[in-house]
Structure 1
Amino acid sequence: MASWSFMAVIFFHLLPLPAMALQDAFVGVNIGTALTDMPNPTQVVTLLKAQQIRHVRLYDADPAMLTALAGTGIRVTVSVPNQQLLAIGQSNATAANWVARNILTHVPATNITAISVGSEVLTTIPNAAPVLVSALQYIHAALIAARLDSHIKVSTAHSSSIILDSFPPSQAFFNRTWDPVMIPLLKFLQSTGSYLMLNVYPYYDYMQSHDAIPLDYALFRPLPPNKEAVDSNTLLHYTNVFDAVVDAAYFAMSYLNFTNVPIVVTESGWPSKGDSNDPDVTLDNANTYNSNLIKHVLNNTGTPKHPGVAVSTFIYELYNEDSRTGAVSEKNWGLFDATGRPIYVLHLTGSGTMLANDTTNQTYCVAKEGVDRKMLQAALDWACGPGKVDCSGMVQGAGCYEPDTVVAHASYAFDAYYHKMVMAEGTCDFKGVATITTTDPSHGSCIFPGSNGSNGTFINGTSLAPSSDSTSSGSSFPFHASNSISCMPIFVVLFLSVVYL
């Protein structure tokens, strides 16, 4: 039987965090840029707004991205890249210059709320570890001088691999090699009201366990009570790897006598495509993990150690990064491809309004009956041309060729565009010739884009479908008499559209 002193310590460790941590959790996304066709900052922000993503984490402080985020209210975590850490950690003046150049020029228009000083420094560039805390302190001092310290938190993102003996969580501790860094770092986080940034990847825990960890346990799938993992010291039940890792970090901090530093998970996700030796890297598993993660975070259940305490989390990541080196799985963590199309449709019913590529509240965009045929044809040409809709489904012999009418073809193109733009306001108008309906217009072998769960979003190009109140640079759409859809690009004179942001 455990000694009374040990049980007393465990009881102390289970006490809740202060009220500062008891707030609603959020889900954000990381924005990597290793894409061969990286969308420009305006396109990225349009996607974020269309998907109602209100928190983002950048791996640098790109001025164009920060400028595009201005006025949106989106809460932004920026980063000091690892290659700049040594210089900043050794010079207060260099840190002050970095803040002046990357923060002061963008606030308050851009809502910067946190700075991550480096990423996984202890495990990727250990030679910089001796100056890590100094770098945080110098950045914070510059924020104090600018009177921004109460609004912008300073921390650094860690790999969960710095936690040893992580199960049961109550026995976890940080790698003692890093005590000279972790103790002053935690003192800094505690004194400034900041939080521990932690990257949590159940995918890697599962892969490295060699089947010791059940796949369902890694994916947040329901487990029967007799399959739940139980911490023998605390008798807490764990139903998923994510909670166990987060609690291991809480216990590791508490054994260094820090019990009031909250945790924000700065990276978590699951890849959707891998090599033949990655059988559990599938679209379904990626969808399952991220859908369950989002619902788990947003329901504010917290963890077994700290129930009800928010564990806000940033999903890794917004886009698939095809330019990354390494295995196929390293390139396929994104929720969207470079054009803004969802890699898979998340299952988020009942979890709020974030990430609009869910399939709930389905509506469709179709051509109005009885409208001017020339205007309808011109709108169809626009959708299949500058609107960048895939109209191949309407060529002769394809599923949606019949009936070969302008109304039928325009309805398909309008609906494809409407769902590509995530049903955003003003994207089903087309100068008054389109209308929204809740009736699925699919027929026979012709399945409309909005009915198959492939809701798209912003694609590379800032044109929106001209609406009734758009300012025209010409008198009308150009008119093409033919009803058939050409496979060649259709060149038209564009109306100057009002971009919905």
Structure 2
Amino acid sequence: MMREKWLGSLLLLLFGIFTRALGAFVGINIGTDVTNLPPASDIVAILKANQITHVRLYDADSHMLKALSNSGIEVIVGVTNEEILGIGESPSAAAAWINKNVAAYLPSTNITAVAVGSEVLTAVPNAAPVLVSAMNYLHKALVASNLNFQVKVSTPHHMDIIPRPFPPSTATFDSSWNSTIYQLLQFLKNTNSYYMLNAYPYYGYTKGNGIFPIDYALFRPLPSVKQIVDPNTLFHYNSMFDAMVDAAYYSIDALNFSGIPIVVTESGWPWFGGAKEPDATVENAETFVDNLIKRVLNNSGPPSQLNIPINTYIYELFNEDKRPGPVSEKNWGVFYANGSAVYPLRLGASDQITGNSSVVFCVAKPGADSDKLQNGLNWACGQGQANCTAIQSGQPCYNPDTLENHASYAYNDYYQKKHAVGGTCDFDGTATTTTVDPSTGSCKFTGSSSSSTSGGLSPVTALGPTTPLDGSSSSILQAPKFLYLMSATFLVLVLLCPGGPSSFLPS
């Protein structure tokens, strides 16, 4: 068991290396319960205009798959819930589905995964007994077509199958589904696939009876007195989204599986609702999606899996006005059917570069007790291991030469390096958080978009220098990607070789 855990951790690390090398991504779901759905070619034009590189389809619509041809956009195709029973009972039906809906479009349409159903365990529980069989048959059909290395098979799950997601460290799957989920996880492990999770902080907040503040659901910073902490791990959760993803990781671990990465296949916020849905507003929807994008593109995972970025698909591209249910159910779209935006979708490269505008800084409170400030400064620069060089005499952050300024720099350097693993912004009540960058002139605070210090080793740094040699025309971005892919591939090959490192793995 220890050896399996070790290998599982290594697989997660390799997944993180690959993902970091290629960059975390934010994709989008395309639902079709729309009265005036645009032609497929127009939909692809909208995707390209908004620099959307990943999409999830709920079916395998031929018009969309043809329109996506040669676009480079990565596509998840969907087996509908109605198709699962037939495929789960017939290998030949699964083979026919793959031939018609996947093999026929590759390689021009960049299909990378098959999502088998949507929230099957909670939406169509009668199909649960054949869910894993359907996945197995589809995978075998991919193997027969030599497509299994390019196309993964998984199935999206609702957070409802984790009855008590907080604290994340004690989260477990609903025990009534244990047999099915165990088989599912075994399949994902055997096929090197990933767990698909639909995580909605909107529902976590609106159904939480006031337990959590709305700022927590919207990725907005919380005051230090309201920090959300797992009492067992002391991990700080700066957003409900991170806590949900970690709850799924801990639930997987509770069934003794590891090495299965999580991709969030749905997350979003409705922009309009009924009289009893006051939090479904354009402002909240834009705030959530904007902050979700910035959160995902910072390339890190939740506290328990910091090295595994949380690739995520926004729900959804268009408002699906034909969907049943409350008013909000029809108003999750970022765009109207005519292609105009409900609110701006900021997925461009420029937003990735300036994404640090969402960084939460930790600074000294104005008017804080000077003795407590001095003690906090001494601790941060000493035991807290903050880098306080910049506030020494003659250095860029020495002026203004005040205790508050120096404490702010030290507090923030400590917080940027340690908050993901439990560090707080409190310092005996002398510190507070802010989204306003405190940098001034040549003094750049850690975490600032213009700072050269990141508060930790990046994957590039960990691999060593990547600056091109004299006379080389290779870009600094090309070198680390190549090193990542070569290093990870080499490790996988060594591990799989007979007589390889098994003799020295922990037993």
Q: TM-score range by the shorter chain?
A: 0.5 to 0.7
* 1:277 aligned residue: 276
Separation in 1, partners of 2:222, 2:58 = 36
Distance 1:42 1:16, change over 3 A: closer
Whether the 8 Å CA contact 1:202–1:241 is kept in 2: the answer is yes
Q: Which moved more, 1:166-175 or 1:11-20?
A: 11-20
Q: CA deviation at 1:343?
A: 0.0
Other-structure match for 1:68: 67
Q: How far off its partner does 1:17 sit?
A: 2.8
Superposed CA offset, 1:219-267 (max 9, x none): 0001123211111110100111100010000000001111110000000
Is contact 2:16–2:307 with CA below 8 Å preserved after alignment? no
* Aligned counterparts of 1:68 and 1:280: Cα–Cα separation in 2: 36
- Between the two proteins, the alignment pairs up a number of residues equal to 346
Residue identity over aligned pairs, in percent, reads 52
- The answer to whether the aligner puts 1:145 opposite 2:150 as a matched pair is no
Q: CA separation in 2, counterparts of 1:260 and 1:123?
A: 25
Q: Secondary structure at the match of 2:76?
A: strand
Letter in 1 for 2:173: F
The corresponding residue for 1:186 is 185
Q: Distance in 2 between matches of 1:174 and 1:58?
A: 26
> 1:169 is aligned with what amino acid?
P
Distance change (3 Å), C-alpha of 1:192 and 1:326: same
Partner Cα separation in structure 1 for residue 325 and residue 229 of structure 2: 36
Structure number with bigger Rg: 1
Structure 1 outlier segments of 4+, above 6 Å: 10-16
Question: In 2, distance between residues paired with 1:225 and 1:249?
Answer: 26
Q: Which residue identity lines up with residue 18 of structure 1 in the other structure?
A: L
CA 1:321 to 1:94, structure 2 compared with 1: closer, same or farther past 3 Å?
same
Aligned-residue offset at 1:315: 0.2
Q: Relative to structure 1, is the Cα distance of residues 226 and 347 closer, same or farther in structure 2, using a 3 angstrom cutoff?
A: farther
Match of 2:16 among 16, 21, 24: 21
Q: Output aligned runs, 1:76-155, within 5 Å.
A: 76-155=75-154
Sort the Cα spacing of 1:353 and 1:334 in 2 relative to 1 into closer, same or farther, 3 A: farther
Over the aligned positions, Cα root-mean-square deviation in angstroms equals 2.2
Q: Give 3-state SS (helix, strand or coil) of 1:122's partner.
A: helix
TM-score by length of 1: 0.67
What displacement does 1:35 show? 1.0
Q: What are the equivalent positions in structure 2 for 1:402-421 lying under 5 Å apart?
A: none
Aligned to 1:173: 172
Describe the superposition over 1:66-120 as per-residue Cα deviations: whole angstroms up to 9, x where unpaired.
Answer: 0000010100000000000000001100100111111111111100000001110
* Letter of the 1:351 counterpart: D
Shift in Å, 1:11:
13
Q: Which amino acid aligns with 1:352?
A: Q
CA distance in 1 between partners of 2:345 and 2:97 (Å): 38
Deviation by residue 1:11-64 (Cα, 9 ceiling, x = unmatched): 999999331233132100000011111001000001111111000000000011
1:238 is matched with: 237
Per the TM alignment, residue 308 of structure 1 is displaced from its structure 2 partner at its CA by 3.0
Q: Output the TM-score relative to the length of structure 2.
A: 0.66
Task: Determine if the alignment matches structure 1 residue 352 to structure 2 residue 352.
Answer: yes
Shift of 1:324: 1.3
| Pair 1:157–1:348, CA change in 2 (3 A) | closer
1:316 aligns with 2:315: yes
Q: Distance in 1 between matches of 2:216 and 2:121?
A: 28
Cα distance 1:149–1:11, how it changes in 2: closer, same or farther (>3 A)? Answer: closer
d(CA) in 2 for partners of 1:306 and 1:332?
A: 33
Inter-partner Cα distance in structure 1 for 2:71 and 2:353: 17
Q: Partners of 2:26 and 2:347 in 1: how far apart?
A: 13
1:285-334 deviation digits (Å, cap 9, x = unpaired): 00000000000001112111111311100000001111112211111100
**What SS does the corresponding residue of 2:27 show, helix, strand or coil?**
strand
Alpha-carbon distance in 2 for matches of 1:78, 1:17: 24
**Residues 273 and 282, structure 1, Cα contact 8 Å, conserved in 2:** yes
Q: How does 1:102-501 map to 2 (within 5 A)?
A: 102-346=101-345, 350-352=350-352
**Residues 8 and 260 in structure 2, CA contact (< 8 A), matched pair in contact too:** no
